[in-house]
Chains A and B, each alone.
Chain A
């Protein structure tokens, strides 16, 4: 019960923040919530199933372009485009997983990285369609919800998507499949001895992860009005890993905390220097030294063992 109270309280707190924060920070929070959906997806693969992927940029970009291309070339409305984007993310994750999951550990990292790089180069190669580096400009959030301004529509949809993703991930990790994912992470051979097919479980986890990444990519493109090949660069594979590591791998709220912390770290550092990654590096070193399980992972370990 207290698990549900905590998560509903977090969602209410976010709602209040969206209502009281100045426009700049409210937009930041909308961006954080959309990206946190990406981190939630990454956490399902990495935090719960133990799949250390360097290819999630591909799933995110699949979401971005899965939504942007139908809007640009087929005249899709925003909602069908969002659905197309999340499906594209899941399909791309499934196709990648079918091959990449034949490897494990470092090999898996490298194979997923190669898939993402191939995706990035394909977006550049087909630049006439995808816009390449320059990307495609989309209509944005204006008019998404009748009667609301672009900013209000953006924050409302971002909030709704995040709330849905958070509740879905909570239900998932506390359910039967969530336990199977953790079992696979902890001991693949033992899970096999108990009758579980590691390949099938990991593939399903990766597809779910891709679904979240695709939804996030699609929402990002639709809400902020831009789709570009830069979303498929390795940076977008490393970012969700850093967000999850900072927030706490294998915790439900960790991705939100990690994404928000990293976003504001870069934002604040950016007002003093262009070398923002230096601050990110220092923060990660400190984290590894003093809280190797991430912010929420450490809190769970020391004070709140019931945290999911």
Chain B
């Protein structure tokens, strides 16, 4: 599925990712953990082509994503929900979803599937996105990404700042997506969430993979959490 080999990247002369190797498999949730500045969000942006790779490769089913311009990456089935949601505020829920659908020419079937995952959005189709609650905005951000029918879904701290009921709902959606075969890369800072959701946990430090563990090998008091996340 998605394979990252020896990836180095950064912002101008400042290197952030160094010789990073990682794999995301279909129907698996790969959680990325690490302290602030470890390079988690940069890794996401690099997969999307928003930060160019200076070395190494990113391939999806044999397609070299690292050599594509950023706007062509989603067309290959990679969807990204960044931190901060970033909706198109003046557009309605329906219009936000439509923009997602148009990318890969998806139709009503896809839209209905997304609305089945988030029934709350169905009730608010004509509501302007900027007026939604924080949780609803996050649902819409994820829903819009799912309108691409992605093979790989990148989620950057999707439950940050949300109330517990909303967190539970979003976690449930992530698990349901896994059942449909989506390879999910989830940046998450809470060990409880990681232990509930992950198949594998990748700990990042100083822009590279410091440790990669199967979920079954981790417990709430595993030393990796203290060593790489500080909790």
Contacts and interface: CB of A to CB of B under 8 A. Distances in A.
Nearest to B98: A179
Interface in A27-48: none
Interface residues of B, number: 26
A192 B71 contact: yes
Contact of A187 (B50, B86, B102): B86
B71 A186 contact: no
Interface stretch (B89-97, B179-187, B204-212): B89-97
A179 B71 contact: no
A180 B99 contact: yes
A171 B72 CA distance: 27
A194 interface: yes
Interface string B43-69: 000001010000000000000000001
A1 to B, nearest CB: 14
A179 B91 contact: yes
A250 B75 CA distance: 29
Contacts, number: 59
Given A194-B144, A195-B74, A179 B100 contact: no
B46 to A, nearest CB: 13
Contacts of A194: 74, 99-100, 103, 144, 148
A189 B86 CA distance: 9
A180 B74 CA distance: 16
A303 to B, nearest CB: 15
A183 interface: yes
A198 interface: yes
Given A187-B86, A190-B86, A195 B104 contact: yes
A19 B168 CA distance: 64
A182 B71 CA distance: 17
A189 B50 contact: yes
A305 interface: yes
Interface of B: 48, 50, 69-75, 80, 82, 86, 88-91, 95, 98-100, 102-104, 128, 144, 148
